[in-house]
Amino acid sequence: MKKIAIVFLLALPFAVAAQKEIKPSVSKAEKALKEGKFDEAKAIIDVTTASQEFMVDKKGNSSKNAAKAWFLKGLIYAGIDTTKVDKFKALEAEPFKVAKEAFEKSKELEKDATPSYFSDANGLPVFNSQYNSQLANAYLNKALDSYSNKKDYKGAFAQMERVLYFVPTDTAMLMNAGVYFAPSAEEYDKSVTYLKAYHSKGGKNIDSYRQLISVLVKQKKSEDALIATREAIQKNPSETDLAQTEISLLYELNRLPEAKANLESKIAAGKGDRGMYYNLGVICLKLNDEAAAEKAFKDAIALDKEDFDSYAQLADMKYKKVRKLREERNEISGTKDADLKKRADLFQAIKAQLLETLPYWEKCEQLKPSEENVLYGLLAVYGDLIGYDETYEAKEKKLKAKMRGLKLEVD
């Protein structure tokens, strides 16, 4: 046993000495890469780029092949990063980081002055841009796999950013990154950056604008969202829903007179629809112009007889007037004839207002028979009208029975 061990130990130095020394060589590293031997290619290129003698000339400047060597190192490590062969994947923990550093060093040396470092089997030049496209496609496949199959949105976005490293001006990739990958990964700032880059290069896709607006609203950047909306309208005039978005943003920014003028201009141009009239009504209410608001809601109903929202606004508006009249009546505490007459007049005015609001509440119940707020509102109106006309007791009783059936609290 001892003898065998001694023989083994004596043989070991010879085995080590017999290993072939790796020397700097761009051509051999390139050959290994083309043959798919990433381990061999990596070993050679690492020695090459680490060699002072190979990378620096006698004057202390970068050698003529230095930029080419760095570019090749980038290709090799990017290949390791995108390969499906496990034994090659294990060669480097962060291959893209190494690849990117290598590509950057190559650019730093030549400022992209050399369009092609390598040739194909026929001796024809393979442009660096072709390698960039190939690598972008490889990373895109990884991004799509992470996004669609693994549902790993953070990982998918990381791969998409690698795609854009190689093809930073590709409008399709900029749009995909901004519309899908970045928002899914909750990378909202980067989504905005990529979408703006896409638009700056002439991109007009409507989904890109909708996503940009959505992200900016999510970030509470309403002013920026308004700018994006108006740009979208200019480039996509047929997308009528953007007009609604513009109005909503003006409302959010409390630029109500501008929002009102905007709507009135569109309506005057014959572009008015139910939504525009409804929004005009809401804005007029906010501006305390109740007469204009009522007209706008009625115009909306004229276009859509089932417009629940407009009926609900009118019902609420008119019932608020009931409350206001009641408060005014309750404030009269005097016993003079004038005071008593005023109270009597207001009592009748309240009745008239209740009768005016009633059909809107009943229409709301017809359109949404289980809507809780509507049922309680209608119940209040019936209760008030009983003080004028006892026949409303039957309606109140029927409504209460319905509400109990819906598990709503009533006395």
CA–CA separation, 161 and 193 (whole Å): 12
Q: What is the tens place of the pLDDT at every residue in 89-98?
A: 999 999 999 9
- Residue 37 is given by DSSP the state -
What pLDDT is stored for residue 19 in this prediction? 56
- Rounded Cα distance, 375 and 368, in Å: 9
- Contact at 8 Å (CB) between 178 and 212? yes
Assess whether pLDDT exceeds 80 at residue 198: yes
pTM, two decimal places: 0.80
Non-local CB neighbours of 403 within 8 Å, separated by 6+ positions: 375, 379, 410
The answer to whether the CB of 29 falls within 8 A of the CB of 45 is: yes
Per-residue pLDDT of 45-104, as tens digits, reads 999 999 999 999 888 889 999 999 999 999 999 999 999 999 999 999 999 999 999 999
Percent of the chain whose pLDDT exceeds 70: 95
Residue from 329, 309, 377 nearest 385 by CA: 377
15 — pLDDT class (breaks 50, 70, 90): very low
Residues contacting residue 68 through CB under 8 Å, at least 6 positions apart? 26, 106, 114, 117
The 10s digit of each residue's pLDDT in 312-327 is 999 999 999 999 999 9
pLDDT above 60 (res 384): yes
DSSP string computed for 131-166? HHHHHHHHHHHHHHIIIIIS--HHHHHHHHHHHHHH
